């Protein structure tokens, strides 16, 4: 049978691909099917949050120059920056985080993070995002990896009909410029149907649009319904076996068409709808606009958005050289604008209470400054920040020693944080998931919920 219809530029095959994710052959209808299949498996544990935004500072942000400064230490440890007071009495942060300093009464700082990985970014990212610390075992993403929280939520607590359940942006972060995709972002053993919807276009560009959620060039919205009818007619001309297969996809194909043609479904990606002053406040760069887009996606009922702050592990926060110059001129101003605006906007819109914001990283940086004016990897102690979604506001949890090298109070692992995130989102971290061969796996077996963090 001829795949093209006379008088039309678009083939039946192209229409079936409309909205395709373009990753591992997963289509938009398959994603919707996976979302629906998980609806019967919702965990019944009460949730304090309905959604989660992960801002992942990929490469290893320096805790000593951001959250856990040591101004009384020797110059080779304390660095070039001064601390400033915050809206949380008695708590200081870096002078280059002035906007975020005004939001500290809304957040929890954890200053006693640690894990076993000091060399491999990939293994540290995997631990931070999945809660599974496998030591220095590096390498890229693998089919038998443990899943990300976004994938788990897509299965156990699906987003409402018509919303994309799990989105990652603006990069598929690699393990080095020519390296493989980092682990921790995908669904792993759960199967690629639960992988994120990737938004890989720069939202700061004037012509920003989402290729994976757009119609082919030249196919107008008003013609889409006619194309859908044509597709149905073509399907009726196929053999019985093909008809049976396609019939099982009818509901998901219809939902895919609805996402592609519905103004409501597309609205979250229309950053031009935001006032220019708001876009300026978040920062006119790929990261600031990605954080703004994350807020809009949560408003559109996406369950989990993960924003990875680097095209590859060594590109941004991996400050082995010129640590202070990079932080002062580029990294901290961009992060300060985006993160503070996100927390402020969520609070003002009444969304912070049910939206968990997690600012995570692979590890921290060495207390001692190296000969390149940088700091190297340091897994023994680092800091993260949580806000909203049932987290206690205005809390500093844990403490490091006088040089920021070792936790001296309430040490915390990434597994503990991921288990606590699951608890806030209504998922039991001891829940059993099954891989594609029907083998059982515990979501995060070696971890504890930190109840002191929960309001």
Task: Mark 121-139 as b/e (b = at least 16 C-beta within 10 Å).
Answer: bbbbbbbbbbbbbbeeebe
What span, in angstroms and rounded, lies between the C-alpha atoms of 202 and 181?
A: 19
pLDDT at 162: 80
Structure-token pair, residue 421: 């995130």
Residue pointed to by tokens 């192209």? 14
Which part of the chain is CATH 3.40.720.10?
A: 49-210+272-453
Work out the number of other CB atoms within 10 angstroms of the CB of residue 333.
18
What span, in angstroms and rounded, lies between the C-alpha atoms of 321 and 237?
A: 64
User: Which positions ≥6 away from 229 have C-beta within 8 Å?
Assistant: none
What span, in angstroms and rounded, lies between the C-alpha atoms of 35 and 42?
A: 11
pLDDT at 18: 44
Which parts of the chain have pLDDT scores under 70? 1-45, 212-265
Best CA proximity match to 101, nearest among 115, 90, 110: 90
Task: Mark 347-378 as b/e (b = at least 16 C-beta within 10 Å).
Answer: beeebbbbbbbbbbbbbbbbbebeeebbbbbb
pLDDT at 261: 55
Question: Left if phi > 0, otherwise alpha if psi is -120 to 50, otherwise beta: which for 25?
Answer: left
Residue pointed to by tokens 């599974």? 132
pLDDT at 242: 44
pLDDT at 266: 79
CATH number of 49-210+272-453: 3.40.720.10
C-beta separation of 382 from 63 below 8 A: yes
CA distances from 42 to 49, 146, 148, 167, 178 (A): 15, 19, 17, 20, 39
Is 343 strand, coil or helix?
Answer: helix
How much is the pTM? Answer: 0.85
pLDDT at 264: 55
The conformation of residue 390, written as its DSSP 8-state character, comes to T
pLDDT at 234: 46
What span, in angstroms and rounded, lies between the C-alpha atoms of 417 and 141?
A: 21
């Amino acid at each position: 049978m001829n795949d093209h219809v006379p008088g039309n530029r678009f083939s039946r095959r192209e229409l079936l691909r409309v909205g395709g994710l373009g990753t591992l052959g997963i289509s938009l209808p398959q994603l919707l099917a996976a979302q629906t299949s998980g609806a019967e498996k919702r965990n019944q544990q009460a949730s304090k949050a309905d959604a989660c935004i992960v801002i992942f500072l990929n490469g290893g942000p320096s805790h000593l120059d951001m959250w856990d400064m040591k101004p009384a230490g020797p110059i080779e440890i304390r660095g070039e920056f001064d601390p400033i007071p915050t809206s949380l009495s008695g708590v200081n942060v870096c002078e280059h985080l002035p906007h975020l300093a005004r939001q500290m009464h809304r957040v929890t700082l954890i200053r006693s993070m640690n894990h076993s990985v000091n060399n491999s970014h990939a293994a540290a990212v995997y631990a931070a995002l999945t809660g599974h610390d496998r030591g220095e075992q590096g390498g890229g993403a693998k089919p038998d990896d443990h899943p990300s929280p976004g994938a788990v939520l897509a299965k156990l607590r699906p987003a409402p009909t018509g919303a994309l359940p799990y989105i990652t942006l603006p990069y598929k972060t690699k393990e080095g410029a020519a390296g493989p995709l980092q682990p921790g972002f995908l669904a792993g053993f759960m199967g690629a149907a639960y992988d994120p919807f990737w938004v890989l276009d720069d939202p700061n560009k004037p012509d920003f649009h989402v290729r994976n959620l757009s119609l082919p060039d030249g196919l107008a919205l008003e013609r889409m319904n006619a194309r859908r009818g044509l597709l149905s007619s073509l399907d009726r001309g196929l053999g019985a076996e093909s008809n049976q297969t396609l019939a099982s996809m009818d509901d998901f194909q219809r939902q895919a068409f609805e996402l592609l043609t519905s103004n409501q479904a597309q609205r979250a990606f229309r950053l031009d709808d935001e006032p220019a002053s708001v876009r300026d406040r978040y920062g006119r760069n790929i990261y600031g606009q990605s954080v703004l887009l994350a807020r809009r996606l949560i408003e559109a009922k996406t369950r989990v958005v993960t924003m990875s702050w680097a095209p590859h592990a060594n590109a941004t926060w991996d400050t082995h050289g010129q640590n202070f110059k990079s932080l002062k001129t580029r990294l901290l101003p961009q992060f300060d604008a985006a993160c503070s605006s996100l927390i402020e906007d969520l609070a003002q819109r009444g969304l912070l209470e049910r939206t968990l914001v997690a600012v995570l990283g692979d590890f921290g940086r060495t207390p001692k400054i190296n000969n390149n004016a940088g700091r190297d990897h340091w897994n023994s102690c680092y800091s993260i920040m949580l806000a909203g979604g049932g987290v206690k506001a205005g809390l500093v949890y844990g403490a490091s020693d006088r040089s920021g090298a070792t936790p001296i109070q309430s040490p915390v692992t990434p597994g503990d944080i991921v288990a606590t995130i699951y608890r806030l989102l209504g998922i039991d971290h001891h829940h059993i998931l099954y891989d594609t061969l029907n083998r059982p796996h515990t979501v995060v077996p070696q971890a504890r919920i930190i109840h002191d963090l929960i309001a």
